[in-house]
Amino acid sequence: MSIPVLTADRTRVSSAAVTPTRKPRRRALSGAWRWASPVALLLLWQVTSSTGILPDDKLSSPAKVLAAGVDLATSGQLGDAFVVSLRRVLIGVAVGAVIALALGITAGLSRWGAVLVDPPVQMLRTLPFLGLIPLFIIWFGIGEEPKIALVALGFAFPLYLNVYAGIRDTDPQLLEATAVLGFTRWERLAHVVLPAALPQALVGLRQGLGVAWLSLIVGEQINADAGLGYLINNARDFLRTDQVVVGLVVYAGLGLATDALVRALEGRALRWRSTR
Amino acid sequence: MAQHTVTVRGLVRQFGPRRVLDDLDLVVRQGEFVALLGRSGSGKSTLLRILAGLDRDADGEIAVDGTVSVAFQQPRLLPWRRVWRNVSLGLHGVDGREVAEKALAEVQLTDHAQAWPLTLSGGEAQRVSLARALVREPDLLLLDEPFGALDALTRLAMHRLVDDLWQRHRPAVLLVTHDVDEALELADRVLVLDEGRIVAEHTPPAGRPRRHADLTELRARVLADLGVVTDEAA
Ligand SMILES: Nc1ncnc2c1ncn2[C@@H]1O[C@H](COP(=O)(O)OP(=O)(O)O)[C@@H](O)[C@H]1O
Ligand SMILES: [Mg+2]
């Protein structure tokens, strides 16, 4: 009948347009069905747990995880751990951002900056930075500093690389056009170079935040006495797999939340692109 | 005696061993519309960039009197600034929303003041670029093949628009083009650039708008200067 034709037509439309436009009814259907398999898996997990196939000390059931979550939340433990971890990420990201922006802008704007800054950063980048943990412990001890330093380092590299690349990719034609209008170096920086580098910088921000969370999780494994990592390690010692999973869920939630935040930021800052 | 907006004498510009501009002389009088023709690679853009102050490595006497604006072949709008902002950039610093909107009205783009540049068609973007150039009330308007990337119909509309704007504001105009008809229709004086200097000068009939039929003979002469042999010239 006419269905294959319609399908073919639809594929063509969606590949041509920037945002695929589908029939609303079809979207509603697939939207609901996308939840089917996750829910089924969750049910399967619950059933295997309740029937004892999946032992509690290997992985607690979803219901137990939920109960443990409520428990940890109402006792205030989860909130405290959350605040500690969030603080580590925020400070680490702030420090990393200052370093990455300073280096990236320096390297991007001046030829000498590029010659002097970029090679060492590129060399350091090839180091697996999580391997630096022993050195960090020697340098910073086992308190907050090595954790924050790890987050800062993990965050700084992607941001630096993207800021640098974004600035270097600035269209020289636009710089010329504004030079003719009498713009000074600083005005061109503000009106042309930085806005031109923004999309790439936001890509760097997103990548950097991903690495920052990873750095936090790894960093919190070393001798933490507070924070989500501490909560998880503690739970491990008592074989409380339900609490471990709660910690993991919170990590995941934080990752998702920052991603959504950056996406919202992108949507707002890059409005001029979305209308293409 | 008429004032000169552009006075160039003995201009030399070399790229490596190549003299792209070689002892070039050029005068553009106040409010005069001059078209500069030349083969691709003959140095038209090079000359324009020197006059715009974008290339400071040229030798010779170069005097430009007054404010200069440039419109390039590509509109070169800042995509992250709304259309009216792009126009007010031409005012450099002054936050001239009103002035920008007036300039946009002159190029028939009032409705697009709030739009993002990436949503504009090629012709619309080029008109914004013209508005940005004109909003500064330049004494010299440099146009580097500003219609080159447009389709034929849009190009004709742009010719009328530029003619109109020039009559109203009376800047001196140096229009670089490789389109002979465009040059003959718009300019007071048509110059031909070849081998690094001005090799020919033609003056189309004074009246405007010019009738295509009146220009046939002149077109053949200009084309001959450019090394193209036509039936009329033969
Ligand atoms: N920055 C540059 N470096 C080297 N050669 C250049 C440069 N700019 C222009 N040229 C050369 O100068 C000649 C004239 O270029 P241009 O002025 O752009 O010609 P057109 O008349 O087509 O505008 C060309 O051969 C071009 O290759
Ligand atoms: Mg050119």
Q: What value of ipTM does the predicted structure carry? A: 0.88
* Residue B13 CA to ligand 2 centre (angstroms): 15
Query: Quick one: which H or E segment has residue B12?
Result: strand B4-15
In a domain, B78, yes or no: yes
Q: In terms of domains, do B80 and B121 share one?
A: yes
Which sequence spans correspond to the domains of chain A? 2-50, 76-274
Report the range of poorest mean pLDDT among A13-17, A184-188, B77-81: A13-17
pLDDT at A4 over 50: no
Segment A98-124 shows an average pLDDT of 94
Q: Dig out the tokens for A250 from the structure.
A: 């919170």
What's the pLDDT at B8? Answer: 96
pLDDT of residue A20: 46
pLDDT for residue A244: 94
Same domain, B175 and B60: yes
Q: Which of A216-230, B2-16, B32-46 has the lowest mean pLDDT?
A: A216-230
User: Residue B74 and residue A173: Cβ atoms within 8 Å?
Assistant: yes
Q: Is pLDDT above 70 for A137?
A: yes
Tell whether A273 is within 8 A of chain B (Cβ). Answer: yes
Q: Is the CB of B38 under 6 A from ligand 1?
A: yes
CA distance A45 to B157: 70
DSSP letter for each residue of B82-148 = -HHHHHHHTTTT---HHHHHHHHHHTT-GGGTTS-GGGS-HHHHHHHHHHHHHTT--SEEEEESTTT
Query: pLDDT at residue A23 above 60?
Result: no
Mean per-residue pLDDT for A200-221? 92
What is the rounded radius of gyration, in angstroms, for the C-alpha atoms of chain B? 18
In this structure, what token pair is assigned to residue B93?
């610093």
Give pLDDT tens digits for B88-101. 988 876 668 889 99
Pick the more confident residue, B104 or A21.
Answer: B104
- The residue whose CB lies within 8 Å of the most ligand 1 atoms, and thus the one to mutate among B42, B46, B57, B74, is B46
N-to-C CA span, chain A: 37
> In this predicted model, what pLDDT tens digit does every residue of B148-158 receive, in sequence order?
888 888 888 88
Count of domains forming chain B: 2
Mutate to test the interface with B, among A272, A275, A276 (most CBs of B within 10 A): A272
Question: Contacts of residue B52 in chain A, CB cutoff 8 Å?
Answer: 180
Report the residue from A176, A191, A271 with minimal CB separation from B78: A191
The predicted pLDDT at position B93 comes to 63
Instruction: State yes or no: pLDDT of A77 exceeds 60.
Output: yes
Q: What integer pLDDT is reported at residue B215 of this predicted model?
A: 85
Which H helix or E strand runs over A7?
helix A3-16
Q: Is residue B105 part of a domain?
A: yes
Q: State the CB neighbour count (10 A cutoff) for residue B92.
A: 15
pLDDT for position A19: 46
- CATH class held by domain A76-274: mainly alpha
Residue B60 lies in a domain: yes
Residue B47 or B221, more confident:
B47
Check residues A56 and A67 and name the one with the higher pLDDT. A67
**Probe target for ligand 1 pocket from B19, B21, B45, with the most ligand atoms within 8 Å of CB:** B45
Residue B201 belongs to a domain with what CATH number? 3.40.50.300
Please report whether residue B55 resides in a domain. Answer: yes
Q: Which residue of A has its CA nearest to B118?
A: A276
Q: Is residue B154 part of a domain?
A: no
pLDDT at residue A25, rounded to an integer: 59
Determine the distance in angstroms separating the CA of B166 from the nearest CA of chain A, rounded to an integer: 20
What band does A11 get if pLDDT is binned at 50, 70 and 90? very low
pTM of the model: 0.82
Say which of B54, B117, B119 has its CB closest to residue A180: B54
**Cβ pair B117:A180 closer than 8 A:** no
pLDDT at A22 > cutoff 70: no
A140 interfacial to chain B (CB closer than 8 Å): no
In a shared domain, residues B48 and B99: no
Poorest-confidence range of A26-30, A146-150, B210-214?
A26-30
Q: Nearest residue CA, atom 8 of ligand 1?
A: B46
CA distance A16 to chain B (A): 17
Cis bond leading into A120, ω under 30°? no
Residue A74: other Cβ atoms inside 10 A: 10
Asked if the structure places residue B59 within a domain, the reply is yes
What are the backbone dihedrals phi and psi of residue B70, each rounded to the nearest 5 degrees, phi first? -130, 140
Q: Give the separation between CA A141 and CA A125, rounded to whole angstroms.
A: 23
Percent of chain B predicted with pLDDT > 90: 71
**To the nearest 10°, the Cα dihedral for B27, B31, B35, B41?**
60
Q: What local confidence, expressed as pLDDT, does residue A14 receive?
A: 36
A71 pLDDT tier (thresholds 50, 70, 90): very high
Is there a single domain that holds both residue B93 and residue B132? yes
Inside any domain, residue B220: yes
Parent domain of B124:
68-137
Task: Tell me, yes or no, whether B179 lies in a domain.
Answer: yes
Could you write out the three-class secondary structure of A84-120? HHHHHHHHHHHHHHHHHHHHHHHHHHCHHHHHHHHHH
Distance CA A147, CA A212 (A): 10
Confidence of residue A8 (pLDDT cuts 50, 70, 90): very low
Q: For B38, phi and psi rounded to 5 degrees? A: 175, 155
